[in-house]
Chain A
C-alpha cells in the first residue's frame, strides 16, 4: 500500500500551497516594498523548484544532465535579459 501512495506528490502539493499562502500574506500585511519583493521573489523561485522536482520529474530520467543544462541556459538568458534591460532603461538612461 505504501508504495502506491504518492507521498512525494502529496508533500509537494502541500508545500506549494504553503508557498502560495506565504506569497499571499504580502497582500494582507503592510510590508515595505523591499520586504514584499523579497518575499515574492523567494517564494516564486522555491515554487518553481518544487514544481520542477515534484511534478515535472527533473532528475529522474537518464538525460538529467541535459535537462539541468537546459534549465541553466534558460535561467542565464533570463537573468541577462532582465539585468540588461534594467541597465539600458533605468540605470544608464
Chain B
C-alpha cells in the first residue's frame, strides 16, 4: 500500500471528501447517461474527433464556462472566509490552496480558453475562410488545453493542490518549502496547456496571414481579426518563456536541480523574472481580444463604422510591443536599484497612452450614433468607466516609489480585478451574447441578460472597490484572516456582499441559457443584430464548409456594404469544396499527455518513460500518415444551400 500513499491528500477536510464523492458520482452518472442514451458514437464522431473550428470553439466555450464556475466557487470561499475577522471557515493551508487554484484556473483555464473559443468560432468566418490553417493541430491545441485543465483540477482530491500562489515564486515553491506534490501539478498541467496555446498562436497567425478572402488586405480586416492576430503574435513571443520557466521549475522540483534555489548557485529571483517576462504580456493577451470584441459590438450597436480604424490598429501594435518592456513593475520591491525601477516606471506609464487612445476611439464611435442598448452593448459601455478605474490605479502602481506602499496589498488585488473583470469577463460575456445566435441558432433572452449585467456590474464594484481602502490601510493580500482590531471587518463584509451579487449574476446567465434553450424563437434569420462583418453572411447554424462561394471583399465592413450599397460579395459558380478529415489522434495524444503529466507529478518513472515514448510514437504516426482530406460535391452544397434565401438573391 505504500505505493499508493503518495495519492493521499496531505491536508484533508470533510469538504474535500465530499467533493471526492461528488466527482465520483458525476463521472458514473456521465458514463451511465452516455451508455443509456447510446451517445458514445455521437460523442466520438461529432466532437472528440472533430477538426471543425466551430465545434472546437464550442468545446472551448463549454470548458471555459465550467472553469469559470470552478474558479468562482473558490472566490466565494475566500470572500466568505475573510468576511468577518478571525473566521474559522478555512484554515491557513486551505486558504493558500484556494487562492492559488483560483488564480491559475481563472487566468489559464478560464480566460485563455474563453478567448480561444471566440477566436476559433469567429475568426475563420470573419476572414471568409473554410477553417483555420492547420485544423488537426487546432484540435490538438484544444485537447492539450483540456487535459492540462483536467489534470490541474484533480489536484485537490489526489495528492493536494498547489499553495504557492498563481505566481508560484521560488524559493517558496521549491521542495524545501512546498513539500506536497501540489506545485508539481502547477508546473506540469500549465506546461501541457501552454503547449496547446503556443500551437494555437502559430495556427492563428498563419490563418490570418494566408487564408483571408480575396481583396481583404491587412488594413481591411475587421477589428476582432486584427486583435486576434496581434494577440497570437504576443502568444508566440511570450509563451516560450513560460515553457522554459516551467521546465526549469520542474527540474528543480522533480530532479533536485538548483536553478531557482537559494543555495548551490541557484537564483530564486530568476523565476520571478521569467514568470513576469511571460506574465505581463499575458495580461495583454487577455485584454486585446476583448478590445476587438468591444470594437465590433460598439460599432454594430451604434450603427456607425469604427472611429479611427488606423489609430486603433496602431495602438494595438504599440501595446503589443510595449507589453514586453514593463515586466519588472511586478517586483519593484524585490531589491533592484533605483535605475531599473525608474526605467520600468517610465515604460509602464507609457503603455497607458495607447490604451487611452482606444477608449477615446470607442467614445467617438458612439458619438452621434443611434445607440441600441442590447446586452452586448451594455457590457461594452459598462466596461469603459470600470476599466478606466483599473487603468488609473495601474498607473499609480506603476510609480515604483509609490508601489512600495501598494505592493501585495488589497489595493493591488482591487487594481487587477478592475482591469480583468471588465477587460476579460465583460468582454467574453458580450462576445458570447453577441455571437450566440450564430453558434446555436437562437438568441439569449435580453431581459434576463440585462438583469445579469446589472448584478455583475454592481457586484464587481461592491466587491472590489472597498479593497482600495483596506489595501491603503495596510491589509495584505493572501492573508487568510485578520484580527478585529485592524478595523478591516466591515469593508470585507461589504466585499462579500458584492461577491454574492456577482454569483447571482452568473447564476442568472446559466438560467438564461436554460430559459432560452426552451423558449427562444428559432426563427431569427442569419443576421439578427443587423451586423457588419462576414461571419453574419453565412447560414445559421453555419454550414460545415462556412461559405459555398469564397467571398470577395473590398471594405472593412463587407456585409454592411452588401446590405446597404448592394456591393456583391459572393460571385461565380459553386465548386466542389476541399475539407479536412476528422481524426482521433489529437484526443488520444492528449490523453497520453495527461497520463505523462500525472506520472511525472507523482515521480512514477516507469509510466513516465512509457508515455514519453508513446507521445513520440504519435508524432511519428502523424509524419507517415497519408491524409488528403475529402471533397464536398457540388450537388451536396446545392442541397445544403437550397433553403437559404441568399442563394436565390442574385446580388449576393
| B336 cross-chain contacts in A, Cβ below 8 A | 88, 92-93
Count of inter-chain pairs, beta carbons less than 8 A:
38
**Complex partner residue of A81 from B209, B270, B324, CB under 8 angstroms:** B324
- In angstroms, how far is the closest chain B Cβ from the Cβ of A70? 8
Q: Collect the chain B residues with CB atoms within 8 Å of residue A66's CB.
A: 209
Tell me the smallest distance from the CB of A66 to a CB of chain B, in Å: 7
Contacts A87-B339, A87-B343, A92-B339: A77 and B273 contacting too (C-beta < 8 A)? Answer: no
Task: Report A-chain residues with C-beta under 8 Å of the C-beta of B335.
Answer: 93
Residues of chain B lying within 8 A (CB to CB) of residue A74: 237
The minimal Cβ–Cβ distance linking B635 to chain A, given in whole angstroms, is 37
Does the CB pair A84–B328 fall under 8 Å? yes
A7 to chain B, nearest CB (A): 28
Q: Which of B267, B324, B335 has the most CB of A within 10 A?
A: B324
Contact in complex: B273, A89 (CB < 8 Å)? yes
Which chain A residues lie closer than 8 Å to B328 at the CB level? 84, 88
Are A81 and B277 within 8 A (Cβ)? yes
- Contact count band on B: 20 to 34
Q: Is B360 an interface residue (CB 8 A)?
A: no
* CB proximity to B under 8 Å, residues A29-74: 63, 66, 73-74
B269 sits at the interface (CB 8 A) = yes
A9 within 8 A of B: no
Residue of A nearest to B236 (CB): A74
Q: A74-B237, A77-B324, A81-B324 are in contact. Are A88 and B340 (CB under 8 A)?
A: yes
The answer to whether B277 and A85 have CB atoms under 8 Å apart is yes
CA distance A79 to B241 in the complex (A): 14
The reply to whether B237 and A77 form a contact with Cβ atoms under 8 Å apart is yes
Q: What DSSP secondary structure best describes chain B's contact surface?
A: helix
Residues of B within 8 A of A89 (CB): 267, 269-270, 273
Q: What is the distance, in angstroms, from A3's C-beta to the closest C-beta of chain B?
A: 28
Question: Per-position contact with A for B317-335: 1 when CB-CB < 8 Å, else 0?
Answer: 0000100110110000001
Neighbouring A residues of B277 by C-beta, 8 Å: 81, 85
Whether B337 is near chain A, meaning CB under 8 Å from some CB there, is yes
Q: Which residue of B lies closest to A70 (CB)?
A: B233
> Which residue of chain A lies nearest to B335 when distances are taken between CB atoms in the complex?
A93
Complex CA gap A63/B208 in Å reads 13
A85 with B324: CB separation less than 8 A:
no
Query: CA separation between A76 and B322, bound complex, in Å?
Result: 11
A27 → chain B closest CB, angstroms: 22
Q: Give the interface size bracket for A toward B.
A: 10 to 19
Q: Return A88 CB to nearest CB of chain B, in Å.
A: 5
Contact A77/B321 with A85-B277, A89-B269, A89-B273 known, Cβ cut-off 8 Å: yes
The answer to whether B273 touches A88 (Cβ under 8 A) is: yes
Nearest Cβ on chain B to A63's Cβ, whole angstroms: 7
The interface bits of chain B over 240-277 (1 if a CB of A lies within 8 angstroms of the residue's CB, else 0) are 01000000000000000000000000010110010001
Q: How far is B229's CA from A73's CA once the two chains are assembled, in angstroms? A: 14
Please, which residues of chain A bring their CB within 8 A of the CB of B340? Answer: 84, 87-88, 92
How far is A18 from B16 in the complex, measured between Cα atoms in Å? 61
Nearest residue (CB) in B for A66 is: B209
Task: From A84, A85, A93, give the contact of B325 (CB < 8 A).
Answer: A84
A74→B327 CA distance, assembly (Å):
17
Contacts of B337 in A (CB 8 A): 92-93
Per-position binary interface string of chain B over residues 333-353, scored 1 when its CB falls under 8 Å from any chain A CB and 0 otherwise: 001110110010000000000
B271 → chain A, closest Cβ, in Å?
Answer: 11
**Residues of B401-415 contacting chain A, CB below 8 A:** none
Give the distance to chain B from A83, nearest Cβ to Cβ, in Å: 11
Residues of A with C-beta under 8 A to B325: 80, 84
Report B-chain residues with C-beta under 8 Å of the C-beta of A63: 209
The answer to whether B324 and A80 touch across the interface, beta carbons within 8 angstroms, is yes
Query: B35-76: which residues lie under 8 A (CB-CB) from chain A?
Result: none
Name the B residues within 8 Å of A88 (CB-CB).
273, 328, 336, 340
Report the nearest A residue to B341, measured CB to CB.
Answer: A92
Shortest Cβ gap from A21 to chain B (Å): 28
**CA–CA, A26 to B270, complex, Å?**
28
Q: What residues of B have a CB within 8 angstroms of the CB of A77 in the complex?
A: 237, 321, 324
* Measured CA separation A66–B218 after assembly (Å): 11
Task: Give bound CA distance, A85 to B343, whole Å.
Answer: 13
Q: Tell me which residues across on chain A come within 8 A of B327, comparing CB atoms.
A: 84
A interface footprint on B534-552 (CB within 8 Å = 1, 0 otherwise): 0000000000000000000
Distance (Å) between the CB of A78 and the closest chain B CB? 9
* Bound complex: CA A73 to CA B234 (Å): 11
Min Cβ gap B130→A in Å is 21
* Chain A, Cβ-Cβ closest to B328: A88
- With a cutoff of 8 Å between Cβ atoms, the chain A residues found around residue B339 in the complex are 87, 92
Minimum Cβ distance to chain A for residue B248 (Å) = 14
- What residues of chain A lie closer than 8 Å to B343, measured between beta carbons? 87
Question: Cβ of B324: which chain A residues have Cβ within 8 Å of it?
Answer: 77, 80-81
Chain B residues whose CB sits within 8 angstroms of the CB of A93 once the complex forms: 335-337
Q: Which residues from chain B contact A87 at a C-beta distance below 8 Å?
A: 339-340, 343
**Distance between A67 CB and nearest chain B CB, rounded to angstroms:** 10
CA distance A66 to B328 in the complex (A): 30
Q: How far is the CA of A87 from the CA of B324 in the complex (A)?
A: 15
Q: How far is the CA of A80 from the CA of B328 in the complex (A)?
A: 12
Q: What is the CA–CA distance of A16 and B339 in the complex, to the nearest angstrom?
A: 41
When chains A and B are docked, how far (Å) is the Cα of A87 from the Cα of B273? 11
Q: B9 to nearest A CB, angstroms?
A: 37
- The CA of A2 and the CA of B336, in the complex, are separated in Å by 61
Cβ distance A72 to chain B, nearest Cβ, rounded Å: 11
Measured between C-beta atoms, what is the minimum distance from B424 to chain A in Å?
Answer: 24
Closest to B267 in A: A89
* CB–CB A85/B273 < 8 A: yes
B293-327 CB contacts (< 8 Å) to partner A? 321, 324-325, 327
20 A-B contacts (beta carbon < 8 Å): A73-B321, A77-B237, A77-B324, A80-B324, A81-B277, A81-B324, A84-B325, A84-B327, A84-B328, A84-B340, A85-B277, A87-B339, A88-B328, A88-B336, A88-B340, A89-B269, A92-B339, A92-B340, A93-B335, A93-B337
Further 8 A-B residue pairs, CB within 8 A, beyond A87-B343, A93-B337: A73-B321, A76-B321, A80-B324, A84-B325, A84-B328, A88-B328, A92-B339, A93-B336
The 6 closest A-B pairs by CB, nearest first: A92-B337, A92-B340, A77-B324, A92-B339, A92-B336, A88-B340
